Structure 1
C-alpha cells in the first residue's frame, strides 16, 4: 500500500466540518438504518485510518446509521484476508486492498464477493478504478522527484534523464521492489507507455545494470522515501507522489515529474460476510465525489471519481495525481500482469540486488 498522508489537526477539523455540514447527502443515503448495525473495515491504520474515518466512516454512519469499526491489517493483507474467509471468522466486512492483491485473492480460489456495482450517472471514473469485486477510491502516482537545489539550471523531465548520469549526475534512490522500478527502466530505454506490458524483463534488468552504481539508497517504506528527499541523502528518486508532496510540504526543495504510473487503493468484500448488503452500501458510498474530495483534502492521493474536483480547491487539485494535467503523463499499472508474475520477478530482483547488480 502506498497511502500517505500530510494530515494536520486543522485539516482534520476542516474536513470533519465539511462532512458534517458542507456536503449535501445524495437521496439514496438519506434513510437511516438501525442504529445497532455495524460493519468492520480493515484498512492500513495510522494516520490514513484517521483520514478514512473523517472522510468516509463517520459520514457513512451519519447518513445510514451503520457504524464503521476500523482495524489495521498487515502491510500485505492477502494472507490475513484468506484466513478470514477460510476460517469463517467474519471479522472483516470490507478490506482495503490493491488490484494486485485482488489478483492474488482470485487466482487459485475466489475469496471476494461481487460488489454488484456499475458506473453511475454521478461517476467519472479513471481507468482501472472499478472491477466486479473491487472499487478503487484513492490513486497514487509512481513518479520521480528531484531536489531543485541540486538541479538549478536544468531539471530532469523524465525517466531517460534519471538514467542519464552524465547530464544529471547525483545520488539516486530507487524502491527495493520491482513494481514500478522495472517500468521506469523501460520508459527510460524508450519504451512507449502503451507498450510496457507484458514487461520485457531482461531489457529492464539490463537498464538497471547501467544505473546500479549510482543508486545510493534502495528505500523500502514511504516514510523513508520522504526522509531521503527531505535530508538530501539523494538528489532524485522514484517516489509515491504523496510521499514527495510530504517532503515538499515540510519545506524541502523538491519537485515532482509527473511521468510514470499510477495505482489505486480500494475496497473489496471478503466472501461470506453476513453484512454483505451493508458492506456494498459502504463501498457505493465511497464512490461519491463529495467524500472522495474530503479524503483528498487530507491525503495527497487523487480521487478516482473525477467529479470530486468540483469540491477540491484549485491549489490542492494541482498536486494530486489524477488532476488532468498530471494523470496525462501516467499509465495505470497492469494489475493482472503483476498478480501473475510478481513472485518470480521479485525473486529475480532480490537476487540481483544481493549479487550487486550482476545477474
Structure 2
C-alpha cells in the first residue's frame, strides 16, 4: 500500500472518530478486500435497525450467504459518505440516503456507483423511486393528525382547517423546522399544490404569523410528537405519518389527515467499492414486494413497490403513505429547492421562533 493511501486512511479514521461513526476498528480494518461474502451497510440506526434486519438483512443473508454488517451513520451522512470514497477505504458498501443527499453527492464530484437495475427488476416500482444511482424504498409523509375525542363532529380535513382557530379551537403543535412546515403554511394560505415550489418564503412566514399564537408546542423530534398526540397535550399537530401511527397503535384516539408532503429514504452505493456486484444484488433484493411488505408492516413507512401493498393487511395499508388515496393528496418534497435554500430558510425560521 502506498504512503499516500496510508495517510488517507489515517485521516479517515481521525475524521470519522470525530464525527462519531459507530464502527469498531476490527469491523473496519480486518482485510475487507478479500471479504466478498460480507457487505457493510450504513443505515439510520436506532429503532429502525431491527426492522431492517428482519425485512432485508437476515433474509438476504439466508438467501445468498452474503453476510450483512449494519452500522449507524450520522443524521446527515454526506460527509462520511464522501470520506469513504476520498480515503479509498471502502468502509461502506451501501448507505441509506435521501434525494437531497444524492444531489450533494453528485454535484461537484460523483460519489455514487451505478445500480445497474434491469427493466425486469423495476416491476411495480412507483414513479420517481428509482434512478441510475439511487433506489427509494421507504416513503414517509409530513402530514396532519388530530385527536378524535376533541373533534368528534366537525373534523378538520386539511391545513386550511388547521389554521382556522375559530371553527376548530384547540391546542396545536408545529415542528421546529421549516422543512414541511413552510409547505403546509402555503397550503393553508390557499396555494395550489402544483404551485408550492419554488417556496415563497415571505408568504409562508406571513401565513405562520396568523397561527403562531395558537401553537402550544413547537416540537423538536418524532418521539416528542408521538407523545404529544398520545397524551392529548395538543389537539392537532403536523406529524410524520409513522409517528401518528405509533400514537394510534398505542390506543390514542388519533386520525391522520393526508395532506402535505412526502419524501423517501433509499439506497446508494459508494463508487469504488470492490463489492459492487453484491451491493447491487442487495438493492435488487430490497425492490421485491415481499421484502417491502415486511418492512412496511413494521416501520409504517410506505413501500415504493405498489405490489407490496397487496401483501399487507388492508387496514394497515390504508395508513401508509403510498396507499393510492393517501399519496394522491401529497406533494413530493423538492429536494433541489431545499438543497439550495435550507440554510437561509432555516435561519429565518429560527429567528422568527425566537421573536416574542
The structural deviation recorded for 1:109 is 2.5
8 Å CA contact 1:122–1:307 kept in 2: the answer is no
Residues in 2 aligned to 1:350 and 1:270: alpha-carbon distance in whole angstroms: 34
1:305 aligns with 2:315: no
- Give the number of aligned pairs: 323
Which segments of 5 or more consecutive residues in structure 1 lack a partner in the other structure?
1-33
8 Å CA contact 1:42–1:71 kept in 2: the answer is yes
Q: Which residue of 1 aligns with 2:190?
A: 190
Q: Which residue of 1 aligns with 2:283?
A: 283
Q: Which residue of 1 aligns with 2:335?
A: 335
Comparing 42-51 and 243-252, the one that deviates more? 42-51
8 Å CA contact 1:292–1:308 kept in 2: the answer is yes
List aligned pairs for 1:80-229, cutoff 5 A: 80-120=80-120, 123-229=123-229
Residues in 2 aligned to 1:183 and 1:133: alpha-carbon distance in whole angstroms: 28
Residues in 1 aligned to 2:121 and 2:137: alpha-carbon distance in whole angstroms: 17
The structural deviation recorded for 1:68 is 0.8
Residues in 1 aligned to 2:166 and 2:301: alpha-carbon distance in whole angstroms: 33
Q: Which residue of 2 aligns with 1:263?
A: 263
Q: Which residue of 2 aligns with 1:350?
A: 350
List aligned pairs for 1:44-83, cutoff 5 A: 44-83=44-83
Distance 1:47 1:234, change over 3 A: same
8 Å CA contact 2:121–2:287 kept in 1: the answer is no
Residues in 1 aligned to 2:99 and 2:285: alpha-carbon distance in whole angstroms: 19
List aligned pairs for 1:13-32, cutoff 5 A: none
The structural deviation recorded for 1:35 is 9.3
Q: TM-score, normalised by structure 1?
A: 0.86
Q: Which is higher, the Rg of structure 1 or of structure 2?
A: 2
Distance 1:163 1:157, change over 3 A: same
Q: Which residue of 1 aligns with 2:5?
A: none
Residues in 2 aligned to 1:126 and 1:337: alpha-carbon distance in whole angstroms: 22
Which segments of 5 or more consecutive residues in structure 2 lack a partner in the other structure?
1-33
Question: 1:177 aligns to what SS in structure 2?
Answer: coil
Distance 1:193 1:223, change over 3 A: same
Residues in 2 aligned to 1:270 and 1:199: alpha-carbon distance in whole angstroms: 32
8 Å CA contact 1:35–1:67 kept in 2: the answer is no
Moved over 4 A (4+): none
Residues in 2 aligned to 1:121 and 1:84: alpha-carbon distance in whole angstroms: 28
Q: Which residue of 1 aligns with 2:24?
A: none
